[in-house]
Amino acid sequence: MENIEKLRNFMKSSFSTEEDEGEYELSDQQKKLPQPPLQKPYDENDKTIDLPEVTDKIFVRSNILDIINQRESHRKFTDDNLSLEELSFLLWCTQGVKKVTANNYATLRTVPSGGARHPFETYLVINHIKGIKNGLYRYLPLSHKLLLILEDSSLSSQLSDIACEQTFVGDSAVTFIWSCIPYRGEWRYLDAAHKVMLLDAGHVCQNLYLACQAIDCGTCAVGAYDQKLIDKFLGLDGENEFVVYVAPVGKVSK
């Protein structure tokens, strides 16, 4: 019960309107320390793939009432490919950058984030995307590109095992894996950042659900996976960056 009480307190707000008369810890932002990068750095010599411009030409439905009403989780997908245009749309809807503010302080994106910190990186296990080789990729939101990490056709079966034998996680056209770089939030909010960052993850995944409905795709939010194995799968250290959410996407039977 003690652990449950701690977790319940974690769910509560850490902010207060009362002035603290005692000493309080300054955030790194208040200390004027450099902010973390808006996007995880990568080697400019690595292979990248330009994503098509996002348009509404791929929409099957666009009525927001219909999209919200038909939103549901899908665990069965067809073997049909997604087009690169469809993948581009899903990525833009979940982490797309609309504007970079002055002095590269923040990004304004298609989803909300506390303090515009946007602590997530989007990794993709690609199985059925037309014109793209199967493998592991990372989305580069600042340039709207894909970064190739590894070409490998066996990743989907590995991912199903990592996701506690949930086979549908690997039996998808593409599986979205969101990692969190917590210092992006901590830099501004210290220990008040962590609840906010998890709330942000929900905003991202709900946008994926709604975007999928617009193009006759389906998804299912997944929180059950082996933390150590999935971090290792992506090459993450599990401390400064770790996985917080998974969502397979594929075409669904009409």
Rounded alpha-carbon distances, angstroms, from residue 42 to 47, 76, 139, 212: 10, 34, 11, 29
* For the chain, percent of residues with pLDDT exceeding 90: 93
Confidence category of residue 20, pLDDT binned at 50, 70, 90: low
Give pTM, 2 decimals. 0.96
According to the model, what pLDDT value does residue 16 have?
Answer: 81
Q: For the domain bounded by 48-251, which CATH number is listed?
A: 3.40.109.10
Specify the pLDDT at position 211.
Answer: 98
Question: Token pair for residue 24?
Answer: 């309080």
Contact in structure between 63 and 204 (CB atoms under 8 Å): no
Q: Each residue of 44-77: pLDDT tens digit?
A: 999 999 999 999 999 999 999 999 999 999 999 9
Compute the average pLDDT of residues 27-55.
Answer: 97
Domain definitions of the chain by residue range: 48-251
| pLDDT tens digits for range 121-167 | 999 999 999 999 999 999 999 999 999 999 999 999 999 999 999 99
